[in-house]
Amino acid sequence: MAATVILEPRVRNCWDEPMRIVVRGLAQAQPVTLRLSLQDEKGALFRAHARYYADSGGELDLERAPALGGSFVGLEPMGLFWALESEKPWLQLVKRDVRTPFAVELEVLEGHEPEPQRVLGRAVHQRVFMRPGVRREQVRADRLRATLFLPPGMGPFPGVIDLSGSGGGLCEYRASLLSGHGFAVLALAYFRFEDLPEYLNDMQLEYFEEAVNFMLQHPKVKGPNIGLLGFSKGGDLCLSMASFLKGITATVLINSCVANTITPLHYKDMTIPSLGTELGKHIITESGLIDCIDIWDNPLEEPNCQSLIPLEKAQGPFLFIVGKDDHNWKSELYAHIASERLQAHGKDRPQIICYPGAGHCIDPPYFPARLASIHAVSGQAVFFGGEPQPHSRAQVDAWQQIKTFFHKHLDGKKSVKHSKI
């Protein structure tokens, strides 16, 4: 029996958009297994599978049919994507070249056996990272090492600088996706890329000031201010940028610390020391992963409070995206410390959205839930926290919240979508 696989959109769509999966031509209540496969740019294979029954008409629609087992259970129309796992343990799915799509293969297999063999239907789909018309420009201006993504059209567009975490390098996938929603986004590298320092040593805020000035002077960027988007270590750098630099009016932090971390930060004649750590407090999980949640000193205690970032000096609003099961650091506590500090200085309370069951690595929608992976710098397997299903839902909702926040504060669009979680 041949089954027909129907994908909507049929050939390709953007990675952060959902896709409808329907299988027709099956027998009434026929048991089948759906398997999704993806090969990354280094040849690593990622797979997910789920078991289903066709309905009385021989159709299987993932928007209506719950998975009965496999990589996940329940009604999860995009579960085959966020449940993808590498054949090699702790390997993270990374999009290295956003100019090319990921090709995913969907197979319909007969039955519910542990390893069903007979293929009833197959389809291939392309998941792109740059929407039609998005332009990608390499930036090598003075010291800056970055990539600028510009939306379709004449512009100017609201501008955002995107900073990744302590893995370093130039990470473009989030910036390329965000640009498709009407923003000029600068993915900024700050170490471990080209001629930048190999390790996080003494950071100079002047480097990030050059990035802000570059954006504000760019003819396609709508001034007089820009926004910041930072994840993990990139988040506390964004807090420092918003606190000390001009021209910033909206800042989003994804699981970030309220203190400067890892290395001292210098700006002109000022230095913010790094928040202290006690590496001996790390935990090794039953799976052999490193859990770092307890290694950081309390930023409210002396002398650690010298590492606190004076975010009350910032001009614009903040949005804190928090995974309540973050095992990298105590992001929820840090967000509330930031809120209390702002209010104590007469500033508005920041927006804080906490996601139960979400861990540290909150990516754009439909990326595999990264609960643990090999850290790019340390080379060690690190536990980041979270549970796959609530983490994946958090990624979908957080992405909408980020877009809404930037549209409201950078583009003057007042419609606000409240978190569903």
List the structure tokens of 63.
Answer: 């928007």
Residue 420 maps to a domain: no
Do 176 and 159 share a structural domain? Answer: yes
pLDDT more than 70, % of the chain: 98
Do 161 and 43 share a structural domain? Answer: no
Residue 418 maps to a domain: no
Does the pLDDT value for residue 301 go beyond 80? yes
Does the pLDDT value for residue 416 go beyond 50? no
List Cα–Cα distances, 310 to 197, 207, 401, in angstroms: 26, 19, 25
Q: Which long-range contacts (CB under 8 A, 24 or more apart) does 209-212 make?
A: 209/241, 209/245, 210/141, 210/142, 210/143, 210/144, 211/144, 211/146, 211/161, 211/186, 212/161, 212/241, 212/245, 212/246, 212/247, 212/248
Residue 141 maps to a domain: yes
List the structure tokens of 6.
Answer: 């129907």
- pTM comes to 0.95
Q: How far apart are the first and last CA of the chain?
A: 42
Do 96 and 151 share a structural domain? Answer: no
Tell me the average pLDDT across 271-281: 91
Q: What's the total number of domains in the chain?
A: 2
Residue 421 maps to a domain: no
Do 101 and 139 share a structural domain? Answer: no
Q: Which residues contact 53 (CB under 8 A, 6 or more apart)?
A: 29, 30, 31, 32, 60, 65, 68
Give the pLDDT of residue 318. Answer: 98
pLDDT more than 90, % of the chain: 89
Q: Show which of 102, 128, 154 is a domain's final residue.
A: 128
Residue 419 maps to a domain: no
Do 175 and 106 share a structural domain? Answer: no
Does the pLDDT value for residue 415 go beyond 70? no
Tell me the average pLDDT across 65-85: 98
Q: Give Cα 168 distance to the centre of its chain.
A: 14
pLDDT bin (cut points 50, 70, 90) of residue 202 is confident
Cα 131 to Cα 87: distance, rounded to the nearest angstrom: 30
Tell me the average pLDDT across 28-34: 97
pLDDT bin (cut points 50, 70, 90) of residue 243 is very high
Tell me the average pLDDT across 291-298: 92
Range(s) of the domain holding residue 314 = 135-410
Q: Show which of 104, 128, 152 is a domain's final residue.
A: 128
Active site residues: 232, 326, 360
What residues are paired with 110 via a beta bridge? 32
Give the pLDDT of residue 414. Answer: 53
Q: Show which of 99, 128, 157 is a domain's final residue.
A: 128
CATH number of the domain within which 174 lies: 3.40.50.1820
Cα 231 to Cα 321: distance, rounded to the nearest angstrom: 9
Residue 297 maps to a domain: yes
Do 143 and 90 share a structural domain? Answer: no
Cα 407 to Cα 165: distance, rounded to the nearest angstrom: 24
pLDDT bin (cut points 50, 70, 90) of residue 280 is confident
Give the pLDDT of residue 160. Answer: 98
Do 317 and 249 share a structural domain? Answer: yes
List the structure tokens of 89.
Answer: 């343990």
What residues are paired with 23 via a beta bridge? 5, 60
Residue 415 maps to a domain: no
Tell me the average pLDDT across 224-238: 98
Residue 315 maps to a domain: yes
Do 71 and 11 share a structural domain? Answer: yes
CA atoms in the 13 A half-sphere facing the CB of 382: 22
Closest alpha carbon to 18 in 9, 26, 10, 27:
9
Do 149 and 65 share a structural domain? Answer: no
CATH number of the domain within which 8 lies: 2.60.40.2240
Do 214 and 101 share a structural domain? Answer: no
List the structure tokens of 259.
Answer: 């203190």
Cβ contact 141:66 at 8 Å: no
Do 144 and 105 share a structural domain? Answer: no
Tell me the average pLDDT across 13-37: 97
Higher pLDDT, 394 or 1: 394
Do 19 and 165 share a structural domain? Answer: no
pLDDT in tens, 333-356: 999 999 999 999 999 999 999 999
pLDDT in tens, 94-121: 999 999 999 999 999 999 988 888 999 9
Cβ contact 383:289 at 8 Å: yes
